Amino acid sequence: GDSVTQTEGQVTVSESKSLIINCTYSATSIGYPNLFWYVRYPGEGLQLLLKVITAGQKGSSRGFEATYNKEATSFHLQKASVQESDSAVYYCALSDASSGSWQLIFGSGTQLTVMP
């Protein structure tokens, strides 16, 4: 079945430093899955950060970027300069229409802590 892997459970970065959160996926679709990053800020519900539905393209939001790399089956989240307000839990996810199910498959999440 489909799966999403986030290898880092927790990441700590100093303010103004660069960030990369890794995400790789496995999908059974004969086409390509849609890829998403969701984020949960402290005290808030999970919300969409960005999505990319076409292989090779890049999505961006709030200074974050992620490129859909179909050769590497990766969708890493990057930011050039993080802020304390970026501290949150980030989830990579995919949806795959191969089974006609459309459901979202989530990774285990990465807790980002930005130190002042």
Partner 1 sequence: GGIITQTPKFLIGQEGQKLTLKCQQNFNHDTMYWYRQDSGKGLRLIYYSITENDLQKGDLSEGYDASREKKSSFSLTVTSAQKNEMAVFLCASSINWGASQNTLYFGAGTRLSVL
| Amino acid (one-letter) located at 40 | R
Q: Is 106 in the site for partner 1 (CB under 8 A)?
A: yes
Indicate which single residue of 105, 110, 112, 114 sits in contact with partner 1 (rule: CB under 8 A): 105
Which residues, numbered 31-90, are part of the site for partner 1 (CB under 8 A)?
Answer: 33-34, 38, 43-48, 51, 53
**Computed from CA positions of residues 30, 34, 35, 38, in that sequence, does the dihedral angle turn out positive or negative?**
negative
Indicate which single residue of 18, 83, 108, 113 sits in contact with partner 1 (rule: CB under 8 A): 108
Beta bridge partners of 21: 77
Q: How far is the CB of 33 from partner 1 (least distance, A)?
A: 8
Q: Is 20 in the site for partner 1 (CB under 8 A)?
A: no
**Computed from CA positions of residues 19, 66, 36, 41, in that sequence, does the dihedral angle turn out positive or negative?**
positive
Question: In this complex, which beta carbon is closest to partner 1, that of residue 20 or of residue 48?
Answer: 48
Spatial distance between the Cα atoms of 68 and 77, rounded to a whole number of angstroms: 10
